[in-house]
A and B are shown apart, each in its own frame.
Chain A
Amino acid sequence: MTTPPRWTYVCRRDDIVPNTGVAAKVGQAQVAVFRVVAPDGEDEAVFAIGNHDPRSGANVISRGLVGDVGGELVVASPVYKNHFCLRTGRCLEDESWSVPAFQVQVSEDGLVLVREA
Chain B
Amino acid sequence: MMKMKLVVVGNGMVGHKLLEELVDRPQIEVTVLCEEPRPAYDRVHLSEFFSGKTAQDLSLVAPGFFDRPGLNLRLNAKAVGIDTTAKVVRTADGASVPYDKLVLATGSYPFVPPVPGRDRPGCLVYRTIEDLEAMRQWGSKSKIGVVVGGGLLGLECAKALKDMGLATHVVEFAPRLMTVQVDDMGGKLLRRKIEALGVTVHTQKNTLEIADGAGMGVGGRHKMVFADGSALETDMIVFSAGIRPRDELARNGGLKMGERGGIVVDNACRTSDPDVYAIGECALWSGKIFGLVAPGYDMARLVARQLVGDQAGEFIGADMSTKLKLLGVDVASIGDAQGATPGSLNYLFSDEVAGHYKKLVVSADRKTLLGAVLVGEAEDYGTLLQMALNGIPLPEHPEDLILPARQGAAPKGLGVDLLPASASICSCNNVSKGDLCAAISGGAASLGALKKCTKAATSCGGCQPLVKQVLDAELKKAGVTVFNHLCEHFAHSRQELFHLVKIGNHKSFDEVLVKHGKGRGCDICKPAVASILASVNNEFVLKPRHASTQDTNDYYLANLQKDGTYSVVPRIPGGEITPEKLIVIGRVAQRFGLYTKITGGQRIDLFGARVEQLPMIWKDLIEAGFESGHAYGKALRTVKSCVGSTWCRYGVQDSVGMAIKVEERYRGMRSPHKLKMAVSGCTRECAEAQSKDVGVIATEKGWNLFVCGNGGMKPRHADLLASDIDDATLVRYIDRFFMFYIRTGDRLQRTSVWLENLEGGIDYVRKVICEDSLGIGAELEAEMQKLVDTYECEWKKAINTPETLRRFRHFVNSPEPDTNIQFVDERGQIRPMTRLEKNEETV
Contacts and interface: CB of A to CB of B under 8 A. Distances in A.
Given A59-B564, A63-B555, A17 B520 contact: no
Interface string B811-822: 111101010100
Nearest to B555: A63
A68 B820 contact: no
B772 interface: no
Contact of A69 (B488, B526, B818): B488
A70 B488 contact: yes
Contacts of B523: 64-65, 67, 76, 81, 83
Contacts of B551: 65, 78
Interface residues of B, number: 44
Interface in B514-543: 514, 519-523, 525-527
Contacts of B448: 93
Contacts of A106: none
A49 interface: no
B816 A25 contact: yes
Interface string A44-59: 0000000010101111
A23 B810 contact: yes
Interface string A28-61: 0010010010111000000000001010111110
A22 B526 contact: no
A19 B57 CA distance: 31
B116 interface: no
A25 B522 contact: no
Nearest to A114: B813
B840 interface: yes
A58 B820 contact: yes
B563 A58 contact: yes
A9 interface: yes
Interface string B532-570: 000000000000100111011001100010111000000
B451 to A, nearest CB: 10
Nearest to B547: A17
Contact of B560 (A38, A60, A73): A60
A71 B489 CA distance: 10
Given A10-B813, A18-B548, A24-B812, A68 B520 contact: yes
Contact of A60 (B52, B548, B564): B564
Contact of A65 (B526, B563, B810, B843): B526
Nearest to A40: B514
B513 interface: yes
A67 B560 contact: no
Contacts of B510: 39
A71 B552 CA distance: 23
B807 interface: yes
A69 to B, nearest CB: 6
Given A17-B807, A39-B510, A63-B555, A68 B812 contact: no
B513 A39 contact: yes
A33 B835 CA distance: 25
B521 A25 contact: no
Interface residues of A, number: 45
Nearest to B515: A39
A96 interface: yes
A20 interface: yes
A32 to B, nearest CB: 10
Interface string B554-593: 0110001011100000000000000000000000000000
A78 B519 contact: no
A57 B548 contact: no
Contacts of A71: 519
Contact of B520 (A15, A33, A39, A59): A39
Name which of B514, B521, B811 has the most chain A CB atoms within 10 A of its CB: B811
A71 B522 CA distance: 11
Given A18-B548, A78-B551, A67 B562 contact: no
A51 B789 CA distance: 41
Nearest to A11: B812
Given A38-B520, A68-B520, A73-B520, A10 B812 contact: yes
A66 interface: yes
Contacts of B522: 65, 67-69, 74, 76
Contacts of A20: 547-548
Interface in A62-117: 63-71, 73-74, 76, 78-79, 81, 83, 93, 96
A86 to B, nearest CB: 11
B735 to A, nearest CB: 32
Contact of A24 (B519, B552, B811): B811
Nearest to B448: A93
A83 B487 CA distance: 15
Nearest to B42: A96
A63 B552 contact: yes
Contacts of A78: 551-552, 560
B274 to A, nearest CB: 40
Contacts of A76: 522-523
A58 B564 contact: yes
Contacts of B564: 56, 58-60
A52 to B, nearest CB: 7
Contacts of B840: 57
A89 B814 CA distance: 23
B521 A64 contact: no
Contact of B813 (A9, A17, A70): A9
A17 B843 contact: no
13 contacts: A9-B813, A10-B813, A15-B812, A19-B520, A22-B811, A23-B810, A39-B514, A58-B563, A59-B818, A59-B820, A67-B523, A68-B520, A70-B488
Please give me the 4 A-B residue pairs with the lowest Cβ-Cβ distance, nearest first. A58-B564, A67-B522, A76-B523, A78-B552
Given A22-B812, A56-B564, A69-B522, 11 more contacts: A15-B812, A17-B807, A22-B811, A23-B811, A24-B813, A52-B820, A57-B562, A65-B522, A68-B522, A79-B562, A83-B523
